[in-house]
Amino acid sequence: MCFTPKISLGTAIFEFLVAGFIYLRYQKSYVPRFVALFIFILGFYQFTEFMMCYTGNVNLWGKMGFITYTFLPAVGLHLILSYTKKDFSQKILGRIIIYLPMIIFIAIAILEKNFIINGSCGLFFVSIKNYFHSGQNPMAELAYFLYYFGYIGIICFYLAYGINKERNKHQILIYLTILITTLLAILPPAILLFIFPAISYEFPSVYCQFAVLYAIFAILGVYWDDKKLDDKI
């Protein structure tokens, strides 16, 4: 939760507007569609936290929130592999491999009756214990951790590789923007978790404080992608 339900809702609306702007304004390549989808998912997560605190329905909206942020690594990796022209992401088998872990985790969330253990809305953060963040299922927690941060690691690897090999200045700016945004969005929460492990149940809530950076930097990235295409005409 971004400090208060109203701010969380305002952030969601901001991200919805940014996603709509990118989708409608930049249509020269498929990249804006992916980016708009990514930002929309971030915004919807904000909305689930707002609804959880506003309605008090922890089970429904806590589960919806988990499902929403579980989409992010898979969608992000698909975007980066597609953008860096990796044929793997265009093949059916490749897409299955990319999205299969996400599908499994979401299926568990849907089918497990006691998936949400408890949840509450604090002064600064939303605290939610679920099947993968309860401290009671170490193997399941490890699997989810490897999925989430493993995908982010792969994304950063391909972006760093692209920066090293690319010669087009606009393309380098795009890679660099996405890489910096990814690091800024994920490192601060990870550092907070390492220093203050007691907030582990609030990780998605802490994470959302930095997610708006994606929206801001995404506009720059899409603009430079559009500029690169103009240079080719």
| Residue boundaries of the structural domains of the chain | 5-232
* H or E stretch at 205: helix 203-232
Collect all residues with Cβ–Cβ distance below 8 Å to 231 and sequence separation of at least 6.
170
Q: Is the pTM of this model over 0.75?
A: yes
CATH of domain 5-232: 1.20.1070
Flag the least confident range among 84-88, 118-122, 155-159, 161-165: 84-88
* Residue 1 in this model has a pLDDT that exceeds 50: no
CA distance linking residue 134 with residue 42, whole number of Å: 23
* Residue 228 in this model has a pLDDT that exceeds 90: no
CA distance linking residue 83 with residue 5, whole number of Å: 35
Phi-psi region at 29: left, alpha or beta (left = phi > 0; alpha = psi -120 to 50): beta
| Dihedral over alpha carbons 169, 171, 175, 177 (to 10 degrees) | 70
User: Which residue type, as a one-letter code, is found at position 169?
Assistant: K
